[in-house]
Structure 1
Amino acid sequence: MRSRIAAIAAACAFAVVISASPAFAHPGNSAGSGHPGHHPSPVTEVASQLITPLKVAFGPKGSFLVAESFAGRLTSISSKGVKTTVVNAPGQEIAGVSYKDGSTYYFNNDMGTGPEPGGQLLPARLMKIDHHGNTRQMADLSIFEAANNPDGNTVYGVRDASADCLAQAPYLQQTGEVFSHPYSSAPVENGVYVGDAGANAILYVSNTGKVRLVKALPAEPITIDASVVAVASNMGMVIPDCMLGLQYYAQAVPTDVEVDGSWLYYTVLPGVPGESLGMGKAYRTNLHSGTTQLLAQGLAAPTGIAVDRNDNVYVAQLMGDGVSVIKKGKVTNVLPAVMASDVAISGSTLAALTNALAETGGSLITKGLR
């Protein structure tokens, strides 16, 4: 039971597109229930009719950079909502946009064909546009994946079933395949941290293009119960009774990365059945010691993470109720929205992408932080 961002997007679109319109206020209105006597910050729609907007970053001169991923387009949006196409690559996936010190970073990923586009090793390019407007390729992550395959020895699926039991459903055990799908990026002074949703790993690409492994994400255990059996059944897969109660080790798919000080924050969407059952998690890893801490769990397809100046952590939940803040392991909604695909923070402003997979197009919205 594999998990791919494209497959997740398709499932989410099917499940949520019939929902009500996005739950955010128009300019000048307030959103959120708040508390008696407390007036929530207003939420402003900066731009709409965006095609699969899956990643957002604060850009130069008060602008925003949005990856309209499946449209193959990187768009700059002014504070007044004026759109300018920065990259136009029909047939490609444009993903993981980020910005730092005058340079824009994004991924130009080749899209495969067939029932699961991208399910093979194809070029996955980390691109950089400098402050002069010059574009260059920093690295092709698929080359690193072909040579290293960080999760190649990881056993996904059921590990503890007897031979006779596993023989009834051999498709419920596999090792990590050779596949690269860089999906999120976080630039720092001398390079870029990358969340590779195909490799199930976090990588670092230096400014000279050298790629190294930061962390291969361990599989996420999920107990096989009736809800897991139901998810499998809906996919046309049968889980034999002998596997009930055992652990299913799902692929730990990194969906976003953010660096704040010496900590690298990231969201994980456990592969099928994890995304359907609200089993997403948020972590942080110390870049010096390697210590990893679980920040929150039980998230509904977390696909965006951001940290504010007070070290509060925010997550966007694609299949959840919008954008939430994490404090001491407690997750509290701060921006009700449908299909919130990403969140970014600069100073006292939060930017989010909502309604990201709707047929009518997604929106870029902002909200002031108090």
Structure 2
Amino acid sequence: MASLAAAGVGATTGSASGEVAARGVLARGLVSPLTAGVADNGTAYVSENFAGLLVKIRPGHKPRPVFQAKKGVEVGGVTVDPGTVTFSLTFGSGQEAPVKRSLVMHLSHGKATRFANTGAFERNNNPDAGVTYGFRHLNKRCLAKVPKRVPARYSGIVDSHPYSTATTGGTTYVGDAAGNDILRVNGNGHIRLVSVLPPVPLRVTKHRAKANGMPACAVGHRYWFEPVPTDVEVAPSGGLVVTTLTGATEAPGFGGQSRVYRVDPATGRASLVTRGLAGAVGLAITTGGDYLVSQLFGNELSRVDASTGGVSHVRNVSQPAAVERVGGKVYVTSRVLAKKPMGRLLRFPG
């Protein structure tokens, strides 16, 4: 997504010393490994998003490319189902203009085929068109004083970035980070809306106003940020668990606003589990039903109590992103925004 691409410019690895022993490093030299899926035998498929590459990593072997997108096309949204790897393509990702073309793909027996046209669904439906973002209650005089670089008030635009996928029982769920929604895709590639995630209202303080060049008349008012869903996982109950980055990540003074939601796939209702995370982009569900969440900008892997929403520290990880839990092992990608090819795939007990 554009925000993560921008964050990668000039980014350095975080200060998460001793993130894992050398034997727990399954792969090195990856470029922006933001998403991953792991098969039951431990074989991992990792997206090198901004390189447009999908690689296969077998235990004890070097990464092997299995799909290369054309220049300017981002690869992401990886999940693994028996016999099939699902991933996404976003055309023109990282550019300033909204993205109107995106696809969900299947890779089977070495052949990649189109599965669902998420870009067309967004163009035809734009599910968050009725949502007002920005300042909802400022008068026109104050709105006119808001710097042009800050979208003062706007409705959801046509923009698609299928950042994550999760497959269960022939149904694939897609977290569209730019569309601000969760989609359901059946076995024939037909797409239906599950939920438009709620915007995030945050109050503008004097400090936040100054940091963003906002006028004094905006102080005390709420700015409604886009939720920006990142990872989506299916709980044993059949419900969905979703991490969100929130648009506030890009605004000075608004850091640490990521959230975790539970979403009922039948009704689309989103229930807040926890908030205050620093760049929640990856998620896995433990045997006990709690959530392992990567905090990209907090340089740590955290555990979120599914009942209370309490957050506890699990492990220091430098710029973590994808989180998968398979066969009693936790897989995490790290150093995902490094300027050089320094990304890693880590594995440790969990």
**TM-score using structure 2 length:** 0.91
Alpha-carbon distance between aligned partners in 2 of 1:150 and 1:243, rounded to the nearest angstrom: 28
Q: Partners in 1 of 2:274 and 2:260 — Cα distance?
A: 5
Partners of 1:134 and 1:348 in 2: how far apart? Answer: 30
- Correspondence for 1:7 among 3, 7, 17: 3
Q: For residue 66 of structure 1, what is the amino acid of its counterpart?
A: V
Q: Is residue 2:25 matched to residue 1:25?
A: no
Alignment partner, residue 138 of structure 2: 161
CA distance in structure 2 between the partners assigned to 1:144 and 1:253 by the alignment: 17
**C-alpha deviation, 1:73, in angstroms:** 0.4
C-alpha separation in 2, matches of 1:277 and 1:228: 10
Q: 2:221 aligns with which of 240, 246, 250?
A: 246
- Note the 1:89-104 alignment, pairs <5 A: 89-91=69-71, 92-104=73-85
Counterparts of 1:351 and 1:183, CA distance in 2: 18
Q: Deviations over 1:153-200 (max 9, x none)?
A: 111100011222122227411111111111100011122100001111
Post-superposition, which runs of at least 4 consecutive aligned residues in structure 1 deviate over 4 A?
18-22, 273-276
User: Could you tell me which of 293, 296, 314 is aligned with 1:318?
Assistant: 296
Does 2:327 match 1:347? Answer: yes
| Contact 2:239/2:264, CA 8 A, preserved across alignment | yes
> Does the CA-based 8 Å contact 1:124-1:141 persist in structure 2?
yes
SS at match of 1:272: helix
Counterparts of 1:174-189 in structure 2, within 5 Å, are 174-189=154-169
Change (3 A) 1:273 1:227: farther
Shift of 1:321: 2.7
Identity over aligned residues, as a percent? 30
Cα 1:166–1:108 change in 2 (3 A) is same
Offset at 1:332?
1.2
Match of 1:140 among 103, 106, 117: 117
In the other structure, the counterpart of 1:129 is 107
Contact 1:23 1:338 in 2 (8 A): no
- What does residue range 216-235 of structure 1 map to in structure 2 within 5 Å? 216-232=196-212
Question: Are 2:46 and 2:57, in contact at CA under 8 Å, matched by a contact in 1?
Answer: yes
Contact preservation (8 Å) 1:60, 1:102: no
Equivalent AA in structure 2 for residue 138 of structure 1: F
Cα distance in 1 between the residues matched to 2:20 and 2:99: 42
- Cα pair distance change 1:68/1:12, threshold 3 Å: closer
Match of 1:307 in 2: 285
Give the SS at the match of 2:98. Answer: coil
Cα distance 1:240–1:122, how it changes in 2: closer, same or farther (>3 A)? same
Say if 2:34 and 2:321, in contact at 8 Å, map to a contact too.
yes
Where 1:61 maps in the other structure, the secondary structure is coil
Q: 1:324 to 1:21 in 2, by over 3 A?
A: closer
**Cα deviation per residue 1:325-364 (whole Å; 9 max; x = unaligned)?**
0122221121201111121111311000111111341110
State whether structure 2 residue 243 is matched by structure 1 residue 267: yes
Structure 1 partner of 2:45: 65
| Counterpart secondary structure, 1:66 | strand
In 2, the alpha carbon distance for the partners of 1:305 and 1:61 equals 20
- CA change 1:230–1:78 in 2 (3 A) is farther
- Which residue of structure 2 aligns with residue 258 of structure 1? 233
- SS of the residue 1:252 aligns to: coil
* 2:235 is the counterpart of 1:282: no
**5+ unaligned residues in a row in structure 2: which ranges?**
none
Q: TM-score, normalised by structure 1?
A: 0.87
Q: Secondary structure at the match of 1:8?
A: helix
Secondary structure of residue in 2 paired with 1:228: helix
Partner of 2:270: 292
Specify the code of the residue in structure 2 equivalent to 1:6.
Answer: A
Counterpart check, 1:151 vs 2:128: yes
* Structure 1 position 268, deviation (Å): 0.9
Give how far 1:292 is off. 3.0
Amino acid in the other structure paired with 1:347: G
Within 1, Cα distance between the matches of 2:285 and 2:156? Answer: 31
SS in 1 for 2:2: helix
Tell me which of 173, 177, 181 is aligned to 2:153.
173
Is 281-290 or 331-340 further displaced after alignment?
A: 281-290
Distance 2:85 2:17 in 1: 29
Partner Cα distance (1:13, 1:302) in 2: 19
**Partner deviation per Cα, 1:96-141 (whole Å, 9 max, x = no partner):** 11011221000122125xxx516323320100123x3332211111
Quickly say closer, same or farther: Cα 1:357–1:27, change in 2 above 3 A: same
**2:14–2:299: 8 Å Cα contact kept in structure 1?**
no
